Amino acid sequence: MNTFGNNYRVSVFGASHGAVVGVLLDGVPAGIALSEADFEADLKRRAPSSIYETARREEDKPLILSGVYNGYTTGAPICIEFRNSDQHSSDYKAFAHTPRPGTADYPAMVKYDGYADLRGSGPFSGRMTLAMVAAGVVAKKILPQELAFKSEVVELGGTSDRSLWEGLLDGARKDGDSLGAVVSCTVEGVPVGLGEPFWDSCESVLAHLIFSIPGVRGLEFGDGFRASAMRGSEHNDPIGPLGPLKNGSGGINGGLTNGAALSLRVAFKPTSSISKVQNTLNLQTHQREDLSVRGRHDVCFALRCPVIVEAACAIALAELFKD
């Protein structure tokens, strides 16, 4: 289904080239000041701005349709929608029967028997993360205000040396190719004890949200995969009077937050839609064909993802905080 959560319930709807992308939020307490202006800063961080990001330019203006009255939340479900206006749907006619490798095209064409609206990747598009960012903005307002979210790209094209990034991006762009990146996120001020021992462990809830972001390929908490090469004496976090003294476990032990900052790293794949020639199957003729994806695509969509990862964390925490 397309609804997440019990305490903070988030439903997304719409499609990349449909009339709107939107989100319906339930479980938001009454009396929180909320206006369209509150969304500006985070939406701007998600919007494309450089030559390495899509040339599609949308206003991304939130329209609050319900749940807010006189500038405050009412306790009723909040519906927010974003009108699409800069679609170039004809760019996608070429892929009606030739799925673009790496995208949702092939499984969606098979699963929905040709009925899915895959213009601009439809409901699988990175554009759906507008809804996620909007839900994150409201989640950040519900959560205790002392929580501090911080996120950034820390690795691009396999290197953390920032001086190399522009050259790598230019090279990929000239080659009609793309790059992936790693985004780190920390949340400071999280109290001890959020999460449940098993299915709703804090990592499980966070992972559910993080892996809902299109294009995510990996997630690490604290030392992450490096922990498997460490000794216990190295990985364990000694405990002081104010909690853990280092953060190898990323702020979670036994599925419960331990008072240290939540600390995670998210691996994003390189953009699938590339103009470099690839091979695919024509589902009508059953012949293999070459395909070059024209249209407007991010060379490295992960550049736009730090705020989306923050939103995922905020939604997860809003779900886990149960007064």
Ligand X SMILES: Cc1cc2nc3c(=O)[nH]c(=O)nc-3n(C[C@H](O)[C@H](O)[C@H](O)COP(=O)(O)O)c2cc1C
**Are the C-beta atoms of 12 and 75 separated by less than 8 Å?**
no
Residues 121, 151, 186, 258: which binds ligand X (CB under 6 A)?
Answer: 121
**For the chain, how long is the longest CA-to-CA vector?**
68
Check residue 163 and report its DSSP letter: G
Q: Is 214 in the site for ligand X (CB under 6 A)?
A: yes
Q: Is 98 in the site for ligand X (CB under 6 A)?
A: no
DSSP characters over 21-45: EEEEEE-PPTT-B--GGGGHHHHHH
Residues 130, 74: Cα–Cα separation, whole Å = 23
| Shortest separation between residue 274's beta carbon and ligand X, angstroms | 8
Binding residues for ligand X restricted to 289-308, rule: CB under 6 A: 297-298, 301, 304-305, 308
Q: Is 165 in the site for ligand X (CB under 6 A)?
A: no
- Stretch in the footprint of ligand X (CB under 6 A) among 79-87, 123-131, 160-168, 224-232: 123-131
Residues 171, 54: Cα–Cα separation, whole Å = 17
Binding residues for ligand X restricted to 254-273, rule: CB under 6 A: 269, 271-273
Residues 289, 284: Cα–Cα separation, whole Å = 11
Query: Which residue lies nearer to ligand X by CB, 179 or 252?
Result: 179
Contacts with ligand X: how many residues (CB under 6 A)? Answer: 21
The three-state secondary structure class of 147 is: coil
| Shortest separation between residue 148's beta carbon and ligand X, angstroms | 23
Binding residues for ligand X restricted to 194-213, rule: CB under 6 A: 213
Query: Which residue lies nearer to ligand X by CB, 17 or 73?
Result: 17
Q: Beta strand pairing status for 68-69 and 9-14?
A: unpaired
Query: Which residue lies nearer to ligand X by CB, 28 or 274?
Result: 274
| Shortest separation between residue 268's beta carbon and ligand X, angstroms | 7
Point out the residue whose Cβ comes nearest to ligand X. Answer: 126
Rounded to 5°, angle at Cα 102 from 96 and 107: 60
The 10 Å CB-count burial string (b at 16+, else e) for 236-250 is: ebeeeeeebeebbbb
* Residue ranges in contact with ligand X by CB under 6 A: 54, 103-104, 121, 124-126, 129, 213-215, 269, 271-273, 297-298, 301, 304-305, 308
